Each structure stands twice: as C-alpha cells, then as structure tokens.
C-alpha cells in the first residue's frame, strides 16, 4: 500500500512541477466525484501540501447533479480525515435529460454532463475564492479521450494537463496525468483507508459509455504490449499536446 501511494504522490508532485500547476498562495478546489480517482488525488495533494515549502490551500468540492447532498459514505470519508466537503446544488440532471429528449441521436449524456459540470464548477469555486480547479483524470483518461475524439468526433483534441478557461479566470489542472489507473487501483485495494462505494451515474443508467468501449479496446492492446498506454501518452507529450494554454475538447 505504502509503495503504491508513495509512487502516486511522487508522480503527482512531478506533474505539478513540470507543468507549474500549483504555486504558493493558490487556493485549489479539488473536484470530488466520489470515485477512487478524485479521492486518491485529494489524498495525494493533501500529502504534498503538508510537505510544501510555499503553502497553498486545497478545498474538496462536490457538485451535485440536482438538489441532493452527497452520499453519506462520501461525507463520512472526509469526516474521518477531519476535513469538510463543500458541496453545491445544480440543475444539470434536468438540463441534460431535456437536451437528450430534444435530440434522440444524443445517446450518451457523458459529453453534455462533463461540459455543464465544469462550467458550473468554475462559477461556484470562484464564489469561494478559488483560482484553480484540480480534477482526478489520470493517464488512461487522457489517452482514452484523445482516441474517442479522433475516432468518434473526427478531431485531434483531448485533455491537456493544464488549461486556461476562455470564459473564467480559473486554471484547470490534472495533477495525476503521469499516473496509470492500475496504480490507483492497487492503492485502493491495499490501503487501510475505507473508500466509499462508487455509485453508478444516474444519467448513464445501464448503458455502456463510449469511454468504457475505448477502455476495453486499449485493455486488449495492453495484453499484447503493456507499453501501449505509456507510449500513446509519450507521443502526445512529445508533440506539446499538454501545453499550458491548449484548448482541449473533452468527453
């Protein structure tokens, strides 16, 4: 457990340094979905914050799809850490369902939901004085998004490690961009920390998302060569895909 978490912290710190993600005096909102990735990111940033010479703040924030509060297991997770989870209400669920009803060809709500969630989060975290938003996307997410956009949207775009919003003064950062999902799974499966259950998306229901299909494809390729994911990420990095002001289209 300790080795997996130590690697996560080390690689998170390297990404923060390489891309100059966090500086002293920053007030960083950490987007919490309730899943293993965002919670692992928070724990890693908490550890790095403790050791940092130039102090900064990290605030875990949760955006509800409706007026319902976070699940009690998620609230208890932060209570055990001695931290408070800040949460916001929204009408995203109603909005996405309405748009999908008006456009039956839009069979996956993920693209709409992620766009709305980010826009609402920008507004809410500004209200509490944050200047940066950290999301728990890892290397797998970034490669999968690139493949999804190329195959299904006909564009070369994806998730930059750091991106400046065009409409908000918020800087979006992805400190776990150097971490593969397998390492996070190893940490969660071996740590004594009790993670809350990862509840299914209310909008997706029993549908298989496009991301799941791409993940399965990459998983099959990894069986033949475990370097597949790392090689794809390295290729994107070599071509300045993660430049600070890249404009990524996400899913």
Query: Is residue 247 assigned to a domain?
Result: no
Q: What is the pLDDT of residue 106?
A: 57
- C-alpha to C-alpha distance for 175 and 45, rounded to whole angstroms: 9
Radius of gyration of the chain (CA): 18
DSSP state of 53: S
Rounded-to-integer distance, Cα 6 and Cα 47, Å: 10
Q: Is residue 248 part of a domain?
A: no
Count of domains for the chain? 1
Distance in angstroms between the alpha carbons of the first and the last residue of the chain: 31
Asked if 237 and 143 count as a contact pair (C-beta separation under 8 A), the reply is no
CATH classification at residue 160 = 3.40.50.620
Q: Is residue 193 part of a domain?
A: yes
Where does 103-150 have alpha helices with state H? 110-127, 139-148
Query: Rounded to an integer, what distance in angstroms lies between the CA atom of residue 154 and that of residue 151?
Result: 6
User: Six-digit token pair at 1?
Assistant: 């457990």
pTM summary value:
0.88
Query: Judging by DSSP bridges, how do beta strands 132-134 and 27-31 pair with one another?
Result: parallel
Domain hosting residue 151, numbered range: 2-238
Q: Is 153 helix (H, G, I), strand (E, B) or coil?
A: helix
| SS3 of residue 21 by DSSP | coil
* pLDDT (0 to 100) of residue 104: 63
Q: What is the pLDDT of residue 245?
A: 44
Residue 57 lies in a domain: yes
Q: What is the pLDDT of residue 251?
A: 40
Closest CA to 188 of 22, 13, 42: 42
DSSP, residue by residue, 33-44: -SSHHHHHHHHH
Residue 92 pLDDT: 84
Would you say residue 251 lies in a domain? no
Domain-embedded: residue 164:
yes
Q: What does the pLDDT profile of the chain (251 residues) look like in tens digits? A: 569 999 999 999 999 999 999 999 999 999 999 999 999 999 999 999 999 999 999 999 999 988 889 999 999 999 999 999 999 998 888 887 787 777 766 556 667 777 788 889 999 999 999 999 999 999 999 999 888 888 877 777 778 899 987 778 899 999 999 999 999 999 999 999 999 987 766 666 555 677 888 889 898 998 999 899 989 988 888 776 665 444 434 44
In a domain, 224, yes or no: yes
**CA distances, 159 to each of 43, 92, 175, 250 (Å):** 22, 22, 12, 6
Q: For residue 244, tell me if it sits in a domain.
A: no
């Amino acid at each position: 457990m300790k080795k997996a978490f130590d690697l996560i912290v080390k690689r998170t710190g390297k990404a923060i340094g390489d891309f100059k993600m966090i500086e002293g005096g920053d007030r960083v909102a950490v987007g919490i979905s309730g899943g293993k990735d965002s919670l692992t990111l928070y724990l890693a940033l908490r550890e790095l914050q403790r050791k940092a010479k130039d102090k900064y703040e990290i605030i875990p924030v949760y955006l509800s799809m409706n007026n319902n509060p976070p699940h009690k297991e998620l609230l208890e997770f932060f209570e055990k850490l001695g931290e408070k989870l800040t949460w916001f209400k929204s009408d995203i669920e109603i909005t996405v369902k309405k748009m999908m009803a008006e456009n039956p060809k839009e069979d996956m709500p993920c693209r709409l939901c992620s766009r709305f969630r980010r826009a609402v989060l920008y507004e809410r975290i500004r209200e509490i004085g944050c200047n940066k938003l950290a999301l728990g996307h890892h290397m797998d997410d970034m490669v999968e998004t690139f493949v999804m956009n190329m195959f299904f949207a006909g564009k070369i775009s994806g998730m930059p490690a750091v991106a400046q919003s065009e409409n908000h003064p918020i800087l979006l950062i992805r400190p776990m961009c150097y971490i593969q999902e397998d390492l996070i799974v190893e940490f969660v499966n071996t740590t004594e920390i009790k993670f809350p259950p990862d509840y299914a998306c209310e909008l997706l229901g029993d549908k298989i998302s496009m991301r799941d299909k791409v993940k399965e494809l990459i998983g099959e390729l990894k069986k033949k060569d475990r370097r597949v994911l790392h090689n794809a990420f390295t290729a994107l990095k070599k071509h300045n895909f993660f430049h600070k002001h890249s404009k990524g289209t996400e899913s």
